[in-house]
């Protein structure tokens, strides 16, 4: 699936190698060397190194990873936990499963280093059940790591103990939200919890817990081996390192690409992905998963793929899921799919989300089935506006943001469709 070519390979280092998932292959190119290096460091030094590397969480929000780790209290009694958020539920995103397909040991190694840094005794990789192959690969890697002495008691004779398990979720978008994930792991309904307290202080079973995305953990071994400065030197000042982008749509070479942050969108689309397929033209692009506001061709001109540049255009890099919308795609259909998705996935805990996503789905259903009313587009915008910033987690905002952007930028297309539906 991967398409990384001449670019620096941090996460996709093992691309193209036979048996890339095996421990032997992983060890042949420096696997677990980052772990060994980290075991020669104090926990606080590991955290400082990750902080200095500029690594930001790759799950969506881009929160600085080292800073998150530093929030975990160091000198307290009792267990601390580490969780790999491998739920990957954001529509358009298919990059975490590529890491598990390519190098599951990179995830395991990153987690052991993180565990050492925060003093966690136990970790979980949380994957939705639909990814049954991925689960198999991850479980095999965990078993291999145990056999080789990278997991369990007294890892590599260091005196440090860390156990790692895989946990299979039932497949709900809300279980990708870190506190929803924690609820699910605790055996409860996958409903998010109020923050604060943040998981770093009170997470899994009420204990200090770090939740990071799969790609975030996978970047850590490289940082340990090559040093913070080498990582900071890649990308831009505020968006350091590389990022996996999963790109889909009517383009010649869709797939997963590892690119340095700050890479030109036009170069990515036209050179790396071979451009649009014959006869199609670019109508719009969703740059960071379904929650990210849509961008027009005008807004995409000169855009670079980093957190700041995309935010400056009013959207977000999110999970790095780039969805290319071509001229044959209907914004009515796109908006309906998005509205249905969030309505289906809302956990129902918060009224603005439960009711708001229902309203969006109902209005869009009406428009789609040619029963749209004059004023529906404005209604979509008003409902979306009322859903923002009022709920326990960001699912409500995730539904509101694309709705507002589509109604603002493609409202005329929606209105024309309503008129056609009602008139003829």
Ligand X SMILES: Cc1cc2nc3c(=O)[nH]c(=O)nc-3n(C[C@H](O)[C@H](O)[C@H](O)COP(=O)(O)O)c2cc1C
State the Cα–Cα distance between residues 308 and 329, nearest whole angstrom: 28
Q: Is 273 a residue that touches ligand X (CB under 6 A)?
A: no
Token digits of residue 388: 């923002």
Cα dist from 422 to 189, 339, 413, whole Å: 42, 21, 14
Of 322, 394, 401, 406, the one binding ligand X (CB under 6 A) is 394
Which of 69, 173, 204, 245 lies at the binding interface for ligand X (CB under 6 A)? Answer: 173
- Alpha carbon of residue 310 to chain centroid: 16
Interaction between residue 216 and ligand X (CB under 6 A): yes
The closest of 362, 383, 367 to 419, measured between CA atoms, is 367
Q: Which is nearer to ligand X, 50 or 332 (CB)?
A: 50
Contact 259, 75 (CB under 8 A): no
- Conformation bin of residue 105: beta by default, left when phi > 0, alpha when psi is -120 to 50: alpha
Told to check if 59 binds ligand X by CB under 6 A, we report yes
| Whole-angstrom distance, CA of residue 369 vs CA of residue 206 | 47
> Using the rule CB under 6 A, which residue among 4, 53, 85, 357 binds ligand X?
85
- Choose the binding region for ligand X from 2-10, 22-30, 209-217, 302-310 (rule: CB under 6 A): 209-217
- To ligand X, the closest distance from the beta carbon of 199 in angstroms equals 9
Phi, psi of 355 (to 5 degrees): -75, -40
Q: Is 67 in the site for ligand X (CB under 6 A)?
A: no
The token pair that represents 322 in the structure block? 């780039």
Q: Which of 252, 272, 263 is nearest to 302 (CA)?
A: 263
Decide: is 92 part of the binding site for ligand X (CB under 6 A): no
Provide the minimum distance between the beta carbon of 341 and ligand X in the complex, in angstroms, as a whole number: 11
Residue in 8, 41, 52, 61 binding ligand X, rule: CB under 6 A: 61
With residues binned 3-state (H G I as helix, E B as strand, rest as coil), the percentages for the chain, rounded to 5, are: 45, 15, 40
Write down the least CB distance from residue 365 to ligand X, Å: 22
127 touches ligand X (CB under 6 A): no
> Which CB atom, from 66 or from 262, has the smaller least distance to ligand X?
66
Provide, rounded to whole angstroms, the least separation between the CB of residue 412 and ligand X: 30
| Residue 60 in the binding site for ligand X (CB under 6 A) | yes
**Which residue has 């198999």 as its token pair?**
136
Alpha helices in 130-264 (DSSP H): 132-147, 178-185, 214-226, 228-232
* Contacting residue, 120, 247, 395, 400, with ligand X by CB under 6 A: 395
User: Interface with ligand X includes 213 (CB under 6 A)?
Assistant: yes
Between 62 and 249, whose beta carbon lies closer to ligand X? 62
Q: Which residues bind ligand X (CB under 6 A)?
A: 57-61, 63, 85, 87-90, 173-174, 176-178, 211-213, 216, 393-395, 398
């Amino acid at each position: 699936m991967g398409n990384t070519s001449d670019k620096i390979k941090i996460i996709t280092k093992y691309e193209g190698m036979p048996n890339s998932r095996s421990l032997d292959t992983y060890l042949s190119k420096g696997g677990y060397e980052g772990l060994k290096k980290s075991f020669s460091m104090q926990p606080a030094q590991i955290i400082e190194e990750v902080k200095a590397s500029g690594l930001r969480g790759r799950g969506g929000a881009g929160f600085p990873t080292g800073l998150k780790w530093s929030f975990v209290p160091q000198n307290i009694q009792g267990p601390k936990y580490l969780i790999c958020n491998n739920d990957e539920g954001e529509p358009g995103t298919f990059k975490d499963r590529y890491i598990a397909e390519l190098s599951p040991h990179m995830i395991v190694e990153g987690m052991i280093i993180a565990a050492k840094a925060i003093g966690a005794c136990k970790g979980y990789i949380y994957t939705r059940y639909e990814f049954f192959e991925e689960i198999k690969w991850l479980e095999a890697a965990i078993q291999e790591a145990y056999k080789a002495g990278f997991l369990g008691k007294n890892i590599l004779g260091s005196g440090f103990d860390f156990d790692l398990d895989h946990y299979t979720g039932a497949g709900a978008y809300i279980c990708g939200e870190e506190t929803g994930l924690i609820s699910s792991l605790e055996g409860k309904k996958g409903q998010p919890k109020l923050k604060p307290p943040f998981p770093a202080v009170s997470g899994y079973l009420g204990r200090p817990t770090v939740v990071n995305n799969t790609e975030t953990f996978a970047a850590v071994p490289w940082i340990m081996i090559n040093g913070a400065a080498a990582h900071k030197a890649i990308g831009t000042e505020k968006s350091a390192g590389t990022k996996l982008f999963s790109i889909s749509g009517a383009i010649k070479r869709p797939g997963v690409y590892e690119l340095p942050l700050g890479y030109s969108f036009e170069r990515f689309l036209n050179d790396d992905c071979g451009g649009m397929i014959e006869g199609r033209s670019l109508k719009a692009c969703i740059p960071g998963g379904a929650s990210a506001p849509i961008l027009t061709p005008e807004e995409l001109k000169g855009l670079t793929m980093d957190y700041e540049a995309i935010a400056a255009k009013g959207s977000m890099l999110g999970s790095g899921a780039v969805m290319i919308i071509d001229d044959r795609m209907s914004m009515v259909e796109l908006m309906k799919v998005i509205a249905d998705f969030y309505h289906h996935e809302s956990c129902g805990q918060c009224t603005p989300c439960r009711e708001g996503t229902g309203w969006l789905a109902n209005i869009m259903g009406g428009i789609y089935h040619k029963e749209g009313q004059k004023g529906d587009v404005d209604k979509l915008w008003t409902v979306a506006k009322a859903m923002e910033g009022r709920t326990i987690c960001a699912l409500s905002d995730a539904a509101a943001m694309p709705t507002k952007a589509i109604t603002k930028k493609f409202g005329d297309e929606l209105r024309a469709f309503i008129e056609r539906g009602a008139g003829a």
